[in-house]
């Protein structure tokens, strides 16, 4: 997990050229700096109040947030669940051997972490977050209610899958996605290690996700079979 986190650092993101840093991105999908800035401005224009801005982390943000936060609290998002519904052709996959990336789909609930951003550096931290998450505009940044572990409710920014995106995949059956995750890799590491790191982080925090753990076990078994065949 330390090795994986080291691949995507704050310094890397600040210097990264989005055209090349994450792998080969289809030009038609790659967002410009201006598009990311417009998306961020539009999202902030919908900011519900003048209270603190919270970010909900449900994937790699949980173990490698990169941005600075003044407070980190366990939280639950109701109405949305984790799903590997984003075709992954950069970062931890390629167009030739795509993997699957995590997003949120409607229904159920998700346990994760809420990060309270410092107001003094809010725009700087959000620009970095947009550069990380919105390279191809695959998510819908939305304001949603979170319940913190102490029972408090806060409004947070949540990155939800945009089902209109060309890389949206409706089929998230484990038998479909496990072979993809087991084999995919890219400039930021392997798709499987992303899954294993998330499983480890959730278990460490007492947030076990049974479906995700079962998927991780399938991926491990596929990797063992693959290594045996190669041997």
Residue 4: predicted pLDDT: 45
Q: What pLDDT score was predicted for residue 14?
A: 87
Helix axes 174-183, 191-204, angle to 10 degrees: 110
Find residue 72's DSSP bridge partners.
Answer: 115
Local confidence pLDDT in tens for the 231 residues of the chain: 333 445 788 888 889 898 888 988 999 999 999 999 999 999 999 999 889 999 999 999 999 998 999 999 999 999 999 999 999 999 999 999 999 999 999 999 999 999 999 999 999 999 999 999 999 999 999 999 999 999 999 999 999 999 999 999 999 999 999 999 999 999 999 999 999 999 999 999 999 899 999 999 999 999 998 777 776
List, in order of start, the domains of the chain with CATH numbers.
10-230 (3.10.490.10)
Which residue of the set 4, 11, 127, 133 is catalytic? 133
pLDDT of residue 222: 96
**CB-based contact 63:201 (threshold 8 Å):** yes
Distance CA 111, CA 211 (A): 13
Reduced to 3 states (helix: H, G, I; strand: E, B; else coil), residue 79 is: strand
SS3 at position 24: coil
User: Whose structure tokens read 């993809």?
Assistant: 180
Task: For 174, list phi and psi in degrees, rounded to 5.
Answer: -60, -35
Residue 133 among the catalytic residues: yes
CA 62 to chain centre: 9
Q: How many whole angstroms separate alpha carbon 136 and alpha carbon 167?
A: 10
Chain centre distance of CA 146: 17
Q: What residues have CB less than 8 Å from 127, skipping those under 6 apart?
A: 36, 37, 40
pTM assigned to the model: 0.92
Provide the Cα torsion 142, 148, 168, 200; round to 10°.
150
């Amino acid at each position: 997990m330390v090795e994986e986190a080291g691949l995507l650092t704050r310094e890397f993101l600040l210097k990264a050229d989005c055209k090349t840093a994450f792998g080969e991105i289809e030009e038609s999908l790659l967002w410009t700096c201006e598009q990311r800035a417009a998306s961020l401005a539009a999202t902030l224009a919908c900011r519900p109040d003048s209270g603190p801005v919270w970010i909900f982390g449900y994937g790699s943000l949980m173990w490698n947030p990169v941005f600075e936060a003044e407070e980190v609290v366990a939280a639950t998002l109701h109405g949305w669940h984790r799903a590997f519904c984003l075709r992954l052709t950069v970062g931890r996959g390629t167009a030739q051997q795509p993997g699957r990336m995590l997003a949120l789909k409607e229904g159920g609930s998700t346990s994760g972490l809420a990060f309270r951003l410092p107001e003094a550096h809010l725009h700087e931290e959000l620009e970095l977050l947009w550069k990380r998450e919105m390279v191809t505009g695959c998510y819908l940044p939305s304001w949603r209610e979170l319940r913190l572990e102490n029972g408090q409710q806060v409004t947070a920014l949540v990155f939800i899958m945009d089902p209109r995106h060309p890389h949206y995949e409706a089929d998230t059956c484990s038998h479909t996605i496990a072979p993809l995750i087991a084999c995919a890799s890219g400039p930021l590491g392997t798709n499987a290690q992303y899954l294993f790191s998330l499983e480890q982080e959730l278990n460490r925090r007492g947030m076990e996700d049974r479906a995700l753990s079962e998927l991780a076990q399938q991926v491990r078994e596929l990797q063992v079979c693959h290594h045996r065949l190669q041997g």
